[in-house]
Amino acid sequence: MPTDRRTLLADVAIAVLAETGIRGLTHRAVDRAANLPPGSTSAYYRTRQALLTALVRRLVALDQAELQEIGNKTPVPQNADELAAGIAALIERRLTGDGRRRSLARYACAVESVHHPELREILVLRENVARQAVCDFLVAHGITDAGDRTVTLLTCVDGLVFDRLVNGGSVPDQEIRTLVAAALR
């Protein structure tokens, strides 16, 4: 449970955005979802843009914490099957439960960032232990442009998550193994 009101409101705003879309993200909607008196959210985030910026910052912080945790718990994959299994686990997390809510919110924010460059700056790809593990795996397998291929592979994974959020279904293991094989070519 978040310890301060600003964090609580940002967390609730993520849930509201995931449930109602960008048009449904209002101060009143966050107040209702947080079971707070009307005007509570606007007391902390005066404008809708301030609320959206706080939401994006919190979303990035949660994603980074999750990826750091995964990277810290998981050793660098030794073979393509281990890497594919790690990616499959990440995809599953992003398509279910709280991960699904964050994914829906993340994509809504990404689209919104087209019109708000300050959000784009917050959403920029970041280094983390999990991402470094993928890069280290590719380097260990002789890939000379491992950094670029890591970005390409993870962008493809992101695209699969987006597609399954929009169209439903899961990502077959073979699809993930094919992406890993392509990164290794």
- Model confidence pLDDT, tens digit, residues 122-151: 988 778 888 899 999 999 999 999 999 999
Residue range 85-97: mean pLDDT, rounded: 94
Residue 5 has pLDDT above 70, yes or no: yes
Distance CA 152, CA 156 (A): 6
Residue range 11-20: mean pLDDT, rounded: 98
* Cβ neighbours, 10 Å, residue 162: 16
Confidence bin at 1 (pLDDT 50/70/90)? very low
CA proximity to 176, closest of 75, 83, 77, 67: 83
pLDDT for 76: 83
This prediction has a pTM of: 0.90
Confidence bin at 166 (pLDDT 50/70/90)? very high
Non-local (6+) Cβ contacts of 150 within 8 A are: 131, 134, 135, 138, 183
Percent of the chain past pLDDT 70, that is, above it, reads 98
Distance CA 50, CA 25 (A): 12
The residue whose two tokens read 């890069």 is: 135
Q: Are 171 and 164 in contact (CB under 8 A)?
A: yes
Walk me through the domains of the chain, giving residue ranges and CATH numbers: 58-184 (1.10.357)
Question: What mean pLDDT value characterizes the chain?
Answer: 93
